[in-house]
Chain A
């Protein structure tokens, strides 16, 4: 607690041109502010945020020996940092500043009620001053960050992220549970849209990894245990390697697996009904048959069948293999039965056009029902039946080979990774990002990122892009060497804490945990992981948790001013 000192509060009320002064009586608000206890200085500014306004704050602090500053103006969203800095520059701890929003939440919303708006502004200023009285000087906490990263999964995303981080100067620990790097790419023949050999790309990448002394590869190993928080994760491996690692950041790149279409289209019974991935292998091993009619069926198990989502990459995969088969078997008829080809962008649209020109036949059926309606063995052929919407009748193709394009689904062990790192999975089973648009490769938990098909099905180009993005995001705290946390973190009254663990459960950032202290279980906060959201504080029934800068007394004082 701070020493008892004489409180000297300065209040600055902004006109915001006409934005505030046009809709409420600012001089009246100022006069009112002068009557509030401990307020020793009040100033109306045309624009508190202008250079002149800022200077007035900076001059008033020493002149009137202000030890609390209240600005009543626009919104803290854009202007709090500016006013805090003015306080700091004038020698006042920036947490002794209080923002009162009388524009966005007052003048703008009550533009036709001048008197009421003025009264509300007075209420808001009184509340702000009440809170300001109880503010305490606080310091931001700096926590050092280990300059190394753990990457879970050695597929194309994991390898790309590893190479990018190494290029940026960081140590990388790349953990892969199989005996070789490459993930799903190991089973792929060629890559669209350049029709480049997947094996050649893999060899090139493996070679780069081997030549990169900053990348440490752990094959046939898995992450067993993770502890800690951004900057200071302790990791234990299991399997072939049992190393213990210290890392500052973690990238999850565990990939996905193809859905196996059991009991669909007699896949488990008929030999010539295969999945896309089985076809890849046949093409890779050059074990294709002399098929005369080949049918690709899209969305087998996807788009509302076994999984609800669209798997994004299967359309392009089918086109790629259809084109390859077209070259190998120039006389064969090749059909792709689909529910709307997902060949987005410039390059993929061109790719599908080429396939059409080369004679691959596209048959579009309705979405929302199974792509093909029947598949039976008849006279040694596979009769694929489907409803043609344009012709309004069922058609059949007698095929020699049926290729089922099945979706990528989350790996079985994703749940374990999710629990290990305390990061969420979405409804579709894939890892859940902090914000779908603006933080697409971040987890909400600081210091943990994701890339590739563990996030959602993605092709090679997309995996690489995401991996580089994740590497960029992970590099930020490592390049800085520290993370700074705002001192809004909770303080725990260990006498009151019953160790019930509710705060641990409600914390979305994994920043609360239970520890043994003096023979009792009590909650403890990890400042580096904490966002100061207050979920723990508000859910503690024993009132053992007090949030920095948002202590109960501070909030209650504000509420008291308006309800009494």
Chain B
């Protein structure tokens, strides 16, 4: 029996790893962040059932980490590949965490004492985290990591508070990156996605108007573990919104930006609007869409439920412009309602932009390292869209999740299991 290397510890990577490990195949799961969980760990609820995202994922993260057949290499990057299907050698850089994982208990004392605050990327930079940190409370493994870019001890040889406070004596400022070589019969690439930054769509004022948010920021704002503990707050006075507008296809289905449809955003906005209404039951939402894409199992019914029970109004329009009231910071959207055939305006307190899913930032680097082809849009290419849905251009390397094309959690899980079926043949063969 040979090993399989899974690159990316989001829900797709976790599912693929568990499928393989359960049948007795040894898996190395390589994750670039200090915790597995990926994008799904940062979502508030999942659409169509409104399950708490981290609550359903965390048990899987734990299963994965504690599985005797899975070795998680967190905070690590794949930097080289040699060999061929059935007999690969994968070179991995394990980045220094400056914390002895065998001693750290994840208590959090060091994070309380650390004086260095930096924008928290796990909360869409909406609040601060420390230079020694856990990405999020349910992180797996629950071990601290020191950010070498910002740590005072590592950058200026000052401070050292975390070492003083750590009762487990886990802090080790001398740690270095290490290289490991993993042998693998097959590789599954599940490196996930990134999200479009809509700053270049000046008409919507993102980055300029405080009450214009992206959907990923909204996920954190509505989340009880997020920077506002789940309370929606608007500038300038922190009042909660009574009306929210969601704009679909911001940067996507746009030949000048992202040509594709991201598949999930219509449902994400419906879900977000439902959650807002669950928090404040007089809150009204307006979803501005081009084609409401609600095609998967129970999605259409969900969209109708939003209209009926959650005060959602769907408006067939692409707003041309948003204007901000300088005093109230309220936002007025100007649009042509295509279902009514008239030009209209709507004032709201908050606007959420549904920006498209892009390939993850390091997809190109991974593709070059592994020798994989990417498609015109930058996603990893399969041999044949129709018949070979998980096979990349390189035999023995399979793909799952959003790095292949935008898809939802269900489809990522399905593709991950499918990739595991192919990888298992090589590992057991």
Query: A residues touching B (Cβ–Cβ < 8 Å)?
Result: 16-19, 46-47, 49-51, 77-78, 81-82, 164, 167-169, 191, 193-194, 196, 201, 303-304, 308-310, 312, 340-350, 353, 364, 366-367, 389-392, 426, 428, 430, 435-441, 455-456, 460-462, 464-466, 468-473, 475-476, 479-480
Interface mask (B80-124 → A, CB under 8 Å = 1, otherwise 0): 000000000000000000000011010111000000000000000
Q: What are 12 A-B interface contacts by the 8 Å CB criterion? A: A308-B304, A346-B261, A346-B375, A349-B261, A435-B56, A436-B48, A462-B411, A468-B389, A469-B421, A472-B418, A473-B19, A476-B22
Given A344-B263, A438-B413, A476-B19, are A194 and B384 neighbors across the interface (CB < 8 Å)? yes
Q: Check A194–B386 contact: CB distance below 8 A.
A: yes
Interface size class of B (residues with CB under 8 A): 35 or more
Chain B residues with Cβ under 8 A from A169's Cβ?
Answer: 428
5 shortest interchain CB distances as A-B pairs: A17-B107, A468-B418, A469-B417, A472-B421, A479-B23
The answer to whether B379 and A346 touch across the interface, beta carbons within 8 angstroms, is yes
Whether the pair A310, B51 counts as a contact (CB closer than 8 A) is no
Report the minimal beta-carbon distance from A22 to chain B, rounded to whole angstroms: 10
Closest CB in chain B relative to A226 CB, distance in Å:
24
A465 engages B414 (CB within 8 Å): yes
Tell me the complex Cα distance, A77–B54, Å: 13
Which chain A residues lie closer than 8 Å to B405 at the CB level? Answer: 345-347
Cβ of B301 < 8 Å from any Cβ of A? yes
Stretch of B203-211, B236-244, B290-298 with 4 or more beta carbons under 8 angstroms from chain A: B290-298
Residues of A within 8 A of B173 (CB): none
With a cutoff of 8 Å between Cβ atoms, the chain B residues found around residue A341 in the complex are 291
Give Cα distance in the complex from A465 to B382, angstroms.
12
Question: A480 is contacted by which of B24, B263, B416 (Cβ under 8 Å)?
Answer: B24
Q: Which residues of B contact A168 (CB under 8 A)?
A: 421, 424-425, 428
> Smallest CB–CB gap between B128 and chain A, Å?
20
Are A480 and B22 in contact, CB atoms less than 8 angstroms apart?
yes
- Whole-angstrom distance between the alpha carbons of A514 and B425 in the complex? 41
Least Cβ–Cβ distance between A421 and chain B, in angstroms:
20
Contacts of B221 in A (CB 8 A): none
Instruction: Find out whether the CB atom of A342 lies under 8 angstroms from the CB atom of B293.
Output: yes
Contact between A437 and B51 (Cβ–Cβ < 8 Å)? yes
In angstroms, how far is the closest chain A Cβ from the Cβ of B269?
Answer: 14
Whether the Cβ atoms of A389 and B339 lie closer than 8 Å is yes
A residues in contact with B62, CB < 8 Å:
77-78
Write out the residue numbers on chain B whose beta carbons fall within 8 Å of the beta carbon of A389. 316, 338-341
With A46-B167, A47-B168, A346-B377 known as contacts, the answer to whether A390 contacts B341 (CB < 8 A) is: yes
**Are A479 and B301 in contact, CB atoms less than 8 angstroms apart?**
no
State in angstroms the CA–CA spacing of A460 and B385 once bound together: 10
Residues on the B chain within 8 Å of A441, using CB: 414, 417
A438 touches B56 (CB 8 A): yes
Q: Are A456 and B296 in contact (CB under 8 A)?
A: yes
- B45 CB, nearest partner CB in chain A, Å: 11
8 Å CB contact of B292 from A304, A340, A426: A340
Partner of B418, one of A430, A438, A469: A469
The answer, yes or no, to whether B259 is at the interface (CB within 8 Å) is yes
Q: Measured between C-beta atoms, what is the minimum distance from A442 to chain B in Å?
A: 10
Beta-carbon contact of A47 and B261 below 8 Å: no
B299 is an interface residue with CB less than 8 A from chain A:
yes
Contact B421 A310 (CB under 8 A): no
* Neighbouring B residues of A347 by C-beta, 8 Å: 385, 405
Given A436-B48, A437-B49, are A430 and B297 neighbors across the interface (CB < 8 Å)?
A: yes
Are B425 and A437 neighbours in the complex by a CB distance under 8 Å?
no
Taken together as a complex, chains A and B put the C-alpha atoms of A90 and B418 apart, in Å, by: 40
The answer to whether B297 and A345 touch across the interface, beta carbons within 8 angstroms, is no
When the two chains form their complex, are residues B338 and A390 in contact, meaning their CB atoms are under 8 A apart?
yes
Contact status of A308 and B424, CB under 8 A, knowing A46-B167, A437-B51, A473-B19:
no
Q: CB within 8 A of A456: which of B57, B103, B253, B297?
A: B297
**Interface-central residue, A50, A164, A438, by most chain B CB under 10 Å:** A438
- Taking the complex as formed, is B355 at the interface, i.e. its CB lies under 8 A from any CB of chain A? no
Asked if A436 contacts B410 (CB within 8 A), the reply is: yes
- A480 near B23 with CB under 8 A, answer yes
**Given A168-B428, A440-B414, A468-B421; A475-B23 close (CB under 8 Å):** yes
Q: Does B420 contact A (CB under 8 A)?
A: yes
Which residues of chain B come closer than 8 Å to A465, judged between CB atoms? Answer: 389-390, 411, 414-415, 418
List the B side residues contacting A349 at CB < 8 Å.
253, 259-261
* Cβ–Cβ < 8 Å partners of A82 in chain B: 66
Most buried by B among A303, A364, A428, A440: A440
Most chain B beta carbons < 10 A, residue from A46, A78, A347, A350: A78
Q: Is the CB of A309 within 8 A of B105?
A: no
B46 at the interface (CB under 8 A from A): yes
Tell me whether B424 and A472 are in contact (CB under 8 A): yes
**CB-based contact B259/A303 at 8 Å:** no
Q: Looking across the interface, which residue of chain B has its beta carbon closest to that of A51?
A: B102
Chain A, residue nearest B109 (CB): A17
Closest to B140 in A: A78
Find chain B residues with CB under 8 A from A366 CB.
339
Residues from chain A with Cβ under 8 Å of B407 in the complex: 345
Chain B contacts for A473, CB-based, 8 A? 19, 417
- Interface residue B155 (Cβ < 8 Å from any Cβ of A): no
Within 8 A of A (CB), among B374-429: 375, 377, 379, 384-387, 389-390, 405-407, 409-411, 413-418, 420-422, 424-425, 428
Instruction: Give the chain A neighbours of B416 by CB distance below 8 A.
Output: 469
Chain A residues with CB under 8 Å of B339's CB are: 366, 389-390
A438 to B316, CA, bound (A): 32
A196–B338 CB distance below 8 A:
no
Report the bound CA distance from A426 to B417 in whole Å: 23
- Cα of A46 to Cα of B103 in the assembled complex, Å: 13
Quick one: closest A residue to B170, CB to CB? Answer: A50
Give the shortest distance, in Å, between B235 (CB) and chain A (any CB): 30
How many angstroms between the C-alpha atoms of A16 and B289 in the bound complex?
48
Is B59 interfacial (CB 8 A cutoff)? Answer: yes
Minimal beta-carbon separation of B259 from chain A (angstroms): 7
Query: B59-86 toward A: CB 8 Å interface, digit per residue (1/0)?
Result: 1101000100000000000000000000
Tell yes or no: B300 within 8 A of A by CB: yes
Question: In the complex the two chains form, is B386's CB within 8 Å of A461's CB?
Answer: yes
For B59, list chain A residues within 8 Å (CB).
Answer: 77
Q: Is the CB of B60 within 8 A of A310?
A: no
Contact A50 B291 (CB under 8 A): no
The reply to whether B295 and A312 form a contact with Cβ atoms under 8 Å apart is yes
Q: Give the Cβ gap from A406 to chain B, nearest Cβ, in Å.
A: 15
Contact of B105 among A47, A77, A456 (CB under 8 A): A47
Contact at B387–A464, with CB atoms within 8 Å? yes
Interface string of B226-264 (1 = CB under 8 A from A): 000000000000000000000000000100000111010
Of listed B56, B263, B410, residue having the most chain A CB within 10 A: B410
Rounded to whole Å, the gap between the CB of B256 and the closest CB of chain A is 14
A311 nearest in chain B by CB position: B295
Across-interface contacts of A468 in B (CB, < 8 A): 389-390, 417-418, 421-422
Q: In the complex, what's the smallest C-beta–C-beta distance from A73 to chain B, in angstroms? A: 11
Q: Which of A51, A193, A350, A466 contacts B414 (CB 8 A)?
A: A466
Given A193-B386, A392-B340, 14 other A-B contacts at CB below 8 A? A17-B109, A19-B107, A168-B421, A342-B291, A343-B291, A346-B405, A389-B338, A390-B339, A436-B410, A456-B296, A460-B387, A468-B422, A476-B19, A479-B23
Q: Is A308 within 8 A of B301, CB to CB?
A: yes
Give the docked Cα–Cα distance between A366 and B46 (Å).
28
Query: Is B23 a contact partner of A476 (Cβ separation < 8 A)?
Result: yes
In the complex, the answer to whether A343 meets B261 with C-beta atoms within 8 Å is yes
Known contacts A346-B379, A466-B414, A480-B24; is-contact A167 B425 (Cβ 8 Å):
yes
In the complex, the chain A residue whose C-beta lies closest to that of B53 is: A437
CA–CA, A438 and B411, complex, Å = 10
Neighbouring A residues of B58 by C-beta, 8 Å: 77-78
Question: Smallest distance from the beta carbon of A317 to chain B beta carbons, Å?
Answer: 13
- The closest CB in chain A to the CB of B138 belongs to A78
A367 touches B409 (CB 8 A): no
User: Which residues from chain A contact B253 at a C-beta distance below 8 Å?
Assistant: 349
Contact partner of A436 among B105, B107, B297, B386, CB < 8 A? B297
